[in-house]
Chain A
Amino acid sequence: MIELTEVDGVPTLVAPSSGQTAAGLMFRVGQADETLSRHGLTHLVEHLALHDSGLSDYHYNGETASVYTHFHLRGSESDVVGYLDKVCAGLAALPMHRLEIEKEILRTESRSRGGTTTLPVRRYGARGYGLPGYPEWGLSRLGPDDLRQWVEDYFTRDNAVLWIAGRGVPAGLRLPLRSGVRRVVPPPTAVLPSTPAWFAGDDTSVVFSAVVRRSTAASVHSGVLERELFRDLRQEGGYSYTATSSYDPRGDGYATITAYADALPEKQGAVLGGFVDVLARMRHGAVDPRSVAAVRTKALDKLNHPEIEAARLPGHALNLLTGQRHLTVDELRAELSAVTAEQVHAVAVEAADTGLLQTPHRTTADWAGFAAAPTSSAHEADGRRYAHRDDADVALVIGPQAAGIVRPGSRATVRYDACAAMLTWPDGARRLIGDDGIVLHLEPALWAVPQAELAALDAAVDPDRHLPMPLRGPGAIPRPAAGRPSAAASRGGAANAGEVIAIVLLTLVAVALGVFGVAQAVAAIRTGGTPLDLTLLGFAAVGTALFATPVVLLRRRRR
């Protein structure tokens, strides 16, 4: 059914499909290949390459995911030929005159998307698979040379796979791409000292993620988890409206299972408790075998779709790109039929061991046996100490190897040689983000520190990692409370900068909280173990978290 051929040196998968032709050109490059100071690079290339595709009559799109970039469309054969030709031409000569405009479009896109989840940041830090959790901060410093180099390194015919669902390779289809090498997916980084772990997120949801070995049983496990969550939290409890789970192969033999349940503010405790109990049931294998059978049957049913081969092409392409095993429909059917409740139980045990749970804000999961994900560095920076102008308990440390903010019971330390990026504002404010995701935000007005010492930071951090930020208005620049008439009044206020520094990671949470959507339409593909990342669809904005953060502080202070 599936034919593997080649177009201009690009491996090409073809499966029959009636109606319009669908096609996709996929490259093995994504956000996880970037660094924080160049985050947004792949997405920017994707946008610029598409700019000249000039198209109105058919549906085309581009997608930048964690480990791949995908240009795809549905249309007539000549549309496919024209679109892919323009994409390749765009990659060969990116329309640099569009650079600043496309950057603006990307900034707008991220605003309208409302942010992303912090789970990847908590698990992987500010590198690799953690980067999708950050804003595309690299945009501010990326220039034409950076983009050209990126295309040369990654957008090559040796790092691409084409798929076509239709009558065959359309006549006249050309893929004029430069040669290069196949790029393996980046190795995962790790910042959690122990799992299962928890951290407090927004006030709208509970999210759980786990990393397990990729298998058909693991995809069934995800389906069973979704079913159990939906039954307990929605059908029986009425605590949640949505309860889902997704299964996303990472491209390196492992897959991420992400389960999500929403929660009304007054039901948060019950959603968390119910979620914990469902996870425990899965871990103990105390799941009704009928649940496993139901998920299996549903997955098998989807394989009966007349154009299932075509529907699985994008996943097949990614497996080919990442060197992962790809099951034929028959193989998948056989594996699905053979999945047992015991195998699902074994996956649940693996998932429990690597679990990361995002609890509703103001709640914890230590009572359920989860370890707190670190919000503080293990070591204190060594160097000269400077006093905070408002808070005697807090000290800024600037040393030759690292800088840090120390407060009773916690510290944020960033080593210069492990500083993923430093945001720099024209007014002198600096924010250092460590590879481990620890954030050090420095408002010069709040510290009794000489200007020369701050300049030393600029010299210590690799200039490639400086990220210039836009000018801030005077109202947006924190000032010490002591110089103002009502020092006491501002102490508990939402804009108390000292507090903000103390909870830097929470600030990240507030800025970048998102919700995982699940693309039902591609559930069949995913069940098959193919990793097309059409799954991260609906990101929901959680602006309230911005305002809730100070509330968390005040509540904690009162306890």
Chain B
Amino acid sequence: MTIISRPAPSALAHAAAFPEVADVRSWCRQGDWAALSGHFARLPTVDDAYFTARIVGDQPEADTFLPDVAQASPTDPLPRVLLAARAIGLAWQARTGARDVSRDRLDRMHAHLRRGEQLLIDVTARDPADGVAWALRLTNARGLELGQAEARRRYDRLARHHPHMHGAQAQLLQQLCPKWGGSWAAAFAFARTAAADAPEGGLHAGLLAQAHVERWRELRGGEQAAYFRRPDVVAELADAAARSVLHPSYRPVYGWVTTHNLFAAAFSLAGEHRRARVHFDALGDLADRFPWAYLGDPAEQFARHRARARKG
């Protein structure tokens, strides 16, 4: 089990899908705060800002200039939010990268998360409407094992200002799964409500694909093989795809790569290759690590199932 299942959007797929991701990375490498903060200021939605913050969180070069920027502007939330995103990146690395005993790794991971969390406590104290900070605090709550009630509280604080923030919903959905102390009833109830409440054409119904994939992953043997063959599951997935990435008003926003990958994987596992193909076609070569890593080597699994789907 991974501690943070989705540390950041998968590198290659998203860089290919959105050229500005490469710009963000390059500004981080150059320490170009003016360009980076200017870019954030122009991002139209809280989900865009969250997605981009997670990209920054994966850039080791960010460590060279973000602390100075934060110190120079004590009330600016952005450098603090990005430092906290970076702390999550480092926490993820500490958890999985090293070869030493797991207690030490866990301690190092927690130390990173605590550092980021304390920055975010201050950011949300000053501005309770900072959706990116709250979404990062959802990931922190999970990594620091603060429990279901606290994760839900954080989401509720966020949702007062951002009722349909998909990136945060995907984080909470992870927490609501049994592996994090939740229950399938809670996970599905949340995914269904979030999908139903959100405007059509967004990514929100993709939460149902995420929930089903998580559910499938916890099953074993015959139960697992049979799960995606269930007509009610397929019907719910088909409906979810129609409400989201296949809806006429859908536009490819940040996160679309993951959502299409989820539907492609779910329909492939269901043996619904015709349905899967639509999603593979939308993706082209944009294989996401998630959820294909659940099946094996992500690139290999993506290629194999796409080939099967294209055969018809």
Given the contacts A237-B156, A273-B154, A284-B126, A368 and B149 also touching, CB distance less than 8 Å: no
* Complex Cα spacing A101 to B127, Å: 60
**Is the CB–CB distance between A269 and B150 below 8 Å?**
yes
**Is the CB–CB distance between A286 and B126 below 8 Å?**
yes
Encoded as 1 (CB less than 8 Å from any B CB) or 0, chain A from 267 to 308 comes to: 111111110110011011010000000000000000000000
Given the contacts A266-B149, A269-B149, A269-B150, A367 and B113 also touching, CB distance less than 8 Å: yes
**Is the CB–CB distance between A368 and B150 below 8 Å?**
no
Contacts of A283 in B (CB 8 A): 125
**Is the CB–CB distance between A280 and B122 below 8 Å?**
yes
A453 located at the interface, meaning its Cβ lies under 8 Å from any Cβ of chain B in the complex: no
A369 located at the interface, meaning its Cβ lies under 8 Å from any Cβ of chain B in the complex: yes
Q: A286 contacts which of B125, B147, B153 (Cβ < 8 Å)?
A: B125
* Complex Cα spacing A23 to B122, Å: 49
Q: B150 contacts which of A272, A286, A366 (Cβ < 8 Å)?
A: A272
Return the chain B residue nearest A284 by Cβ: B125
Contacts of A237 in B (CB 8 A): 153, 156
Q: B146 contacts which of A267, A286, A367 (Cβ < 8 Å)?
A: A367
Given the contacts A269-B147, A366-B114, A368-B117, A281 and B125 also touching, CB distance less than 8 Å: yes
Residue of B117, B127, B140 contacting most chain A CB atoms (<10 Å): B117
B121 located at the interface, meaning its Cβ lies under 8 Å from any Cβ of chain A in the complex: yes
**Is the CB–CB distance between A367 and B126 below 8 Å?**
no
**Is the CB–CB distance between B121 and A280 below 8 Å?**
yes
**Is the CB–CB distance between B144 and A274 below 8 Å?**
no
A230 located at the interface, meaning its Cβ lies under 8 Å from any Cβ of chain B in the complex: no
**Is the CB–CB distance between A369 and B118 below 8 Å?**
yes
Q: A270 contacts which of B121, B125, B150 (Cβ < 8 Å)?
A: B150
A27 located at the interface, meaning its Cβ lies under 8 Å from any Cβ of chain B in the complex: no
**Is the CB–CB distance between B121 and A277 below 8 Å?**
yes
B96 located at the interface, meaning its Cβ lies under 8 Å from any Cβ of chain A in the complex: no
Contacts of B140 in A (CB 8 A): 367
Encoded as 1 (CB less than 8 Å from any B CB) or 0, chain A from 248 to 277 comes to: 000000000000000000111111111011
Q: A269 contacts which of B121, B124, B148 (Cβ < 8 Å)?
A: B148
Q: A276 contacts which of B121, B126, B144, B156 (Cβ < 8 Å)?
A: B121
B152 located at the interface, meaning its Cβ lies under 8 Å from any Cβ of chain A in the complex: yes
Encoded as 1 (CB less than 8 Å from any A CB) or 0, chain B from 115 to 143 comes to: 00110011011110000000000001100
**Is the CB–CB distance between B124 and A277 below 8 Å?**
yes
* Complex Cα spacing A77 to B151, Å: 61
* Complex Cα spacing A368 to B113, Å: 10
Contacts of A274 in B (CB 8 A): 153
A239 located at the interface, meaning its Cβ lies under 8 Å from any Cβ of chain B in the complex: yes
Return the chain A residue nearest B140 by Cβ: A367
B-side interface residues, number (CB < 8 Å): 25
Contacts of A368 in B (CB 8 A): 117-118, 121
Closest approach, in angstroms, between the C-beta of A230 and any C-beta of chain B? 16
**Is the CB–CB distance between A367 and B125 below 8 Å?**
no
Closest approach, in angstroms, between the C-beta of B68 and any C-beta of chain A? 22
Contacts of B110 in A (CB 8 A): 367
Return the chain B residue nearest A282 by Cβ: B125
* Complex Cα spacing A270 to B150, Å: 4
Return the chain B residue nearest A362 by Cβ: B147
Closest approach, in angstroms, between the C-beta of B53 and any C-beta of chain A? 20
* Complex Cα spacing A281 to B114, Å: 18
**Is the CB–CB distance between B122 and A268 below 8 Å?**
no
Contacts of A276 in B (CB 8 A): 121
Closest approach, in angstroms, between the C-beta of B158 and any C-beta of chain A? 12
Contacts of A268 in B (CB 8 A): 147, 149
**Is the CB–CB distance between B125 and A239 below 8 Å?**
no
Closest approach, in angstroms, between the C-beta of B88 and any C-beta of chain A? 13
* Complex Cα spacing A272 to B153, Å: 11
Closest approach, in angstroms, between the C-beta of B126 and any C-beta of chain A? 5
**Is the CB–CB distance between B152 and A270 below 8 Å?**
yes
Contacts of A366 in B (CB 8 A): 114
**Is the CB–CB distance between B144 and A273 below 8 Å?**
no
* Complex Cα spacing A363 to B140, Å: 15
Closest approach, in angstroms, between the C-beta of B157 and any C-beta of chain A? 8
**Is the CB–CB distance between A367 and B154 below 8 Å?**
no
* Complex Cα spacing A277 to B157, Å: 11
Closest approach, in angstroms, between the C-beta of A552 and any C-beta of chain B? 15
Contacts of B154 in A (CB 8 A): 273
Contacts of B125 in A (CB 8 A): 277, 280-281, 283-284, 286
**Is the CB–CB distance between A369 and B149 below 8 Å?**
no
Contacts of B126 in A (CB 8 A): 284, 286
* Complex Cα spacing A368 to B127, Å: 17
Return the chain A residue nearest B156 by Cβ: A237
Return the chain B residue nearest A360 by Cβ: B147
Return the chain B residue nearest A278 by Cβ: B125
* Complex Cα spacing A369 to B113, Å: 11
Residue of A270, A272, A274, A363 contacting most chain B CB atoms (<10 Å): A270
**Is the CB–CB distance between B149 and A367 below 8 Å?**
no
* Complex Cα spacing A368 to B146, Å: 11
Interfacial residues of chain A within 220-255, with CB under 8 A of chain B in the complex: 237, 239
Return the chain B residue nearest A274 by Cβ: B153
* Complex Cα spacing A276 to B110, Å: 18
Contacts of A271 in B (CB 8 A): 149
Closest approach, in angstroms, between the C-beta of A106 and any C-beta of chain B? 40
* Complex Cα spacing A402 to B157, Å: 52
**Is the CB–CB distance between A273 and B122 below 8 Å?**
no
Contacts of A286 in B (CB 8 A): 125-127
Interfacial residues of chain A within 177-226, with CB under 8 A of chain B in the complex: none
* Complex Cα spacing A117 to B20, Å: 57
Return the chain A residue nearest B150 by Cβ: A269
Return the chain B residue nearest A280 by Cβ: B125
* Complex Cα spacing A362 to B157, Å: 24
Closest approach, in angstroms, between the C-beta of B181 and any C-beta of chain A? 10
Closest approach, in angstroms, between the C-beta of A333 and any C-beta of chain B? 32
Closest approach, in angstroms, between the C-beta of B255 and any C-beta of chain A? 26
Contacts of B152 in A (CB 8 A): 270
* Complex Cα spacing A266 to B153, Å: 12
Q: B149 contacts which of A239, A281, A284 (Cβ < 8 Å)?
A: A239
* Complex Cα spacing A167 to B65, Å: 74
**Is the CB–CB distance between B114 and A270 below 8 Å?**
no
Closest approach, in angstroms, between the C-beta of B96 and any C-beta of chain A? 19
Interface of A toward B, CB cutoff 8 Å? 237, 239, 266-274, 276-277, 280-281, 283-284, 286, 363, 366-369
Known: A269-B146, A369-B118. 7 other contacts (CB 8 A): A268-B149, A277-B124, A280-B124, A284-B125, A284-B126, A367-B110, A367-B140
Q: Which 8 pairs of residues, A with B, have the shortest CB-CB distance?
A: A269-B147, A269-B150, A280-B125, A270-B149, A270-B153, A273-B150, A269-B149, A281-B125
6 pairs, CB–CB < 8 Å, chain A vs chain B: A239-B149, A271-B149, A277-B125, A280-B121, A280-B125, A284-B125
